[in-house]
Structure 1
Amino acid sequence: MINHHVYEELVRIASKQNVLMNECLKDHLYTKLGGKADFFVTPETYEQVQQIVKLANKENIAFTLLGNGSNLIIKDGGIRGIVMNLGKLNKIAGNGLKITAQSGARIIDTSREALHLRLTGLEFACGIPGSVGGALYMNAGAYGGEIKDVLESCIVVDRNGELLNLAAEELALDYRTSNIPDNGYIVLEGTFALQAGDYEEIKAVMDDLTFKRESKQPLEYPSCGSVFKRPPGYFAGKLIQDSGLQGKQIGGAQVSLKHAGFIVNKENATATEYIELIQHVQATVKEKFGVRLEREVRIIGEDLEK
């Protein structure tokens, strides 16, 4: 049941054009999977984010933060309560050797701004598809670099709707993890400390990494990127390949023929099919090699009622 009082309060906080009811979430995700949100809200200011968190607390209504969905699967039953997306908070600004990027900006665009400003340190992020908020959330990394290497500080909203200024060290950044989810933080912006560099040298590194990514990754189909974390001493993609799973398909979901570490939405897959294929890959690799593949991708939401 849609709570119209909550809808009216959300409209009062964020204005009508930023509040949608029964919004189809697959339109907002890289995987093109997932059901509907009761309320889909896209705030335009930090104060609006604070007020929405406080409203959810006051009304005791479920609250979910959605980035740009590059590392997320939402189940076919969708998400109850309020889903907030920070895509309209997307400003990127340079200041000397630092760049501050809002949560909804793409980390790719942040690395391009660093190039424009002749700043080095963010080249590794030139192919990471997530938002800045998502990149901090999971300490995103690629090609030997990670957010932990360059993040100086961030501004977050806590569970009570209060603004906090945090140093990078306070986020417990580690391999594809942070304390952001455990603390219920909503990242509003991150500030990156970089170094002066040569434009052509920075561009050459970014061009090389972009070529590597485009030649190896199945970017022609929707996906959530690399599905599994790298198990100690192994490569997830090679284990999957050596298990004979490349090309394995359940419904419209397929283990990529181009890179076995990716599962692609090849033919209008459902989230259920995608998740079943993930579980099949995990079970097969465990059986053949005794290695447990841990998901890098998050799965949230409700199953479709039968």
Structure 2
Amino acid sequence: MELFELAKKGIKIEKQVPLSRYSFTETGGPAEYLAFPKTLAELEQLVAAARNERLPLTIIGNASNLIIQDGGIAGLVLILTAMKQIRIDQDQVTAQAGARIIDTAFTAAQCKLTGLEFAAGIPGSVGGAVFMNAGAYGGEVCDVVQSVRVLTRTGEFKCYTNEEMKFSYRHSVVQENGDIVIEATFALQHGKRNKILAEMNYLNALRQYKQPLEYPSCGSVFKRPTGYYVGPLIIKAGLQGKQIGGAQDSTKHAGFIVNKGAATATDYLDLIHLIQQKVDERFGIKLHTEVRIIGKPAD
């Protein structure tokens, strides 16, 4: 067994690990196998082992905009948070997939580089942010990405330009082809450190004021439908504060669902489906999830 051989070589591979330990919702069933590659070489070996053993392969970043179902995930799960190097080269910042986008933004700011201020409060990883084309407060990853380096499921390294990433609202080409983001390079502009940090602090204060950061959550649950805001639709449908099990539509920001205690992924999904149903019935508007839902339901 190739995974066993990698374990003997010092790559830590665990079995049946509850993914609730790593998700921002604090929910989720077990990973059949779980590893945290520390280097590109380890990642390459683990991907090859999964391919050769015909194991399903799931890649996770910071698990901040993610719901992992209660039945867990079969095969090999790789969490890339140990791959977090950030490099500066003049007006470019290159960050590995596991680096937090927050840390990348603050590193840029300390080097007097502007353009990533919008990401100052986004809790996801660089890989997740690129995968989802994350955005906030008028900025998106696609505005500043210059290139993205990936590892394909067949073991080939590629580099995509911004155009080749086919970015759109909460979408990128790697959602379609399954390529694994290993690092991204952001093209920024020189600016004044104090002004950059002041903007980041302002956006973080705004986030603290508006969002229910005091509870575990998966961030913004739904994509914004054209011409509408999700929160007011949920409020008008009478669902703000609605709770199923331990999952509650936030009383602070209706676009968030929080874990009020002992919530399961099934609680989250039941509440999501109820909100979708009621908003569609009341307004004829279909809400689509921004949060990524993976894994299998509980038996």
Query: TM-score range, shorter-chain basis?
Result: over 0.9
Equivalent position of 1:219 in the other structure: 213
- Specify which of 90, 103, 106 is matched with residue 112 of structure 1: 106
Matched, 1:127 2:96: no
Q: CA separation in 1, counterparts of 2:2 and 2:230? A: 44
What secondary structure is seen at the aligned counterpart in 2 of 1:276? helix
Q: Secondary structure at the match of 1:206?
A: helix
Shift of 1:6: 4.6
Number of the residue aligned with 2:4: 8
Cα distance in 2 between the residues matched to 1:166 and 1:253: 39
Report the alpha carbon displacement of residue 9 of structure 1 after superposing the two structures with TM.
3.0
Measured after TM superposition, the shift of residue 55 of structure 1 is 1.5
Which residue of the partner structure matches residue 202 of structure 1?
196
CA distance in 1, matches of 2:162, 2:262: 40
Residue aligned with 1:156, SS:
strand
- Please give the per-residue CA displacement for 1:241-270, whole angstroms capped at 9, x wherever unaligned: 111111100000000000000000111101
| Structure 1 position 162 matched with structure 2 position 156 | yes
In 1: Cα distance, 2:158 partner to 2:41 partner: 13
Deviation at 1:30, TM superposition (A): 0.5
Distance 2:16 2:2 in 1: 13
Aligned counterpart, 1:150: 144
Q: Is the 8 A contact 1:19 1:39 kept in 2?
A: yes
TM-score, with length taken from structure 1: 0.96
1:189-238 superposed Cα distances (whole Å, 9 cap, x missing partner) = 10100000011111111111011100000000000000000000000111
**Is the 2:246–2:261 Cα contact (8 Å) retained in structure 1?**
yes
2:75 to 50, 63, 81: 81
CA contact (8 A) 1:50 1:162 kept: no
CA distance in 2, matches of 1:12, 1:281: 48
TM-score, normalised via structure 2 length? 0.98
Q: Is structure 2 residue 62 aligned with structure 1 residue 43? A: no
- Report the counterpart of residue 304 of structure 1 in structure 2: 298
Q: CA deviation at 1:10?
A: 3.5
Q: Which amino acid aligns with 1:25?
A: L
- Give deviations 1:35-80, integer Å, cap 9, x for gaps: 1001101111112212222211111111111111111101111011
Give the fraction of aligned pairs with identical amino acids, expressed as a percent: 52
- Is the aligned partner of 1:255 residue 2:252? no
SS of residue in 2 equivalent to 1:77 = coil
Which amino acid counterpart does residue 250 of structure 2 have in structure 1? S
Q: Which residue of 1 aligns with 2:238?
A: 244
1:96-155 Cα shifts (integer Å, max 9, x gaps): 001110100000010000110010000000011100000000100000000111000121
Paired residues of 1:51 and 1:161 also in contact (CA < 8 A): no
Give the one of 267, 280, 292 matched to 2:274. Answer: 280
Which stretch of structure 1 is more off in the superposition, 249-258 or 150-159? 150-159
Which amino acid in 2 is paired with 1:105?
A
- In structure 1, the residue matched to 2:49 is 55
User: Do residues 138 (structure 1) and 132 (structure 2) align?
Assistant: yes
Is 2:46 the partner of 1:65? Answer: no
**Unaligned segments of structure 2, at least 5 residues:** none
Distance 1:102 1:7 in 2: 24
SS in 1 for 2:106: helix
Q: CA contact under 8 A between 2:105 and 2:117: conserved in structure 1?
A: yes
1:70–1:225 Cα contact (<8 Å) kept? yes
CA distance in 2, matches of 1:299, 1:56: 22
Corresponding position: 1:293 with 2:287: yes
User: Structure 1 residue runs of 4+, over 3 Å off?
Assistant: none
Greater mean deviation of Cα atoms: 215-224 or 203-212: 203-212
- The residue aligned with 1:271 is 265
Amino acid at match of 2:169: Y
> Cα RMSD over matched residues?
1.0
